[in-house]
Chains A and B, each alone.
Chain A
Amino acid sequence: ETGVTQSPTHLIKTRGQQVTLRCSSQSGHNTVSWYQQALGQGPQFIFQYYREEENGRGNFPPRFSGLQFPNYSSELDVNALELDDSALYLCASSVTGGNEQFFGPGTRLTVL
């Protein structure tokens, strides 16, 4: 059984650029959630995808968008990067939306 994987591990971008982060869910899981964790803070819910449809969204602006593919892998896209977007981005997969979540190792994004 393959766990949740994320790529890339680290990424450095400059203000105004766009970034795409990727997540492969655990085998058998059809739900992927994305979180942003700023340094010293708890994770903040960005959104969740269930069977390729957005299934809940936190308090993030529209420049944060996502996709889920038929194999249930997912992407998080962030446009017009701002310095405050620097954070650890975590994805987690689950069998359904409310069940136990399995987290990936995260992508650490630095915006300069």
Chain B
Amino acid sequence: DQQVKQNSPSLSVQEGRISILNCDYTNSMFDYFLWYKKYPAEGPTFLISISSIKDKNEDGRFTVFLNKSAKHLSLHIVPSQPGDSAVYFCAASAFGYGGSQGNLIFGKGTKLSVKP
């Protein structure tokens, strides 16, 4: 039973346009959410996070929105660049989840392709 779902396996966007990647979660105990970017055969790199006390967090071209009532978060990339082409993973954690703080539950990822 997936607690973090990324329902779009892939997304294709034109360079300069907005990329919107979506993530849904089922566990209402989740209170911290993260986005990671991953290139093939490499480890994921942290992009941006948001805690449940906020509904928006911005860092440069990246903005994460959190809608707690809908159990939904999204990552906006504006403007999209070819170098953004990668797999993006959404992750969530809850204080004390699994008997330990800090453990992350990952979605299956969305492959973003940004075309020049």
Do A and B originate from a single complex? Answer: no
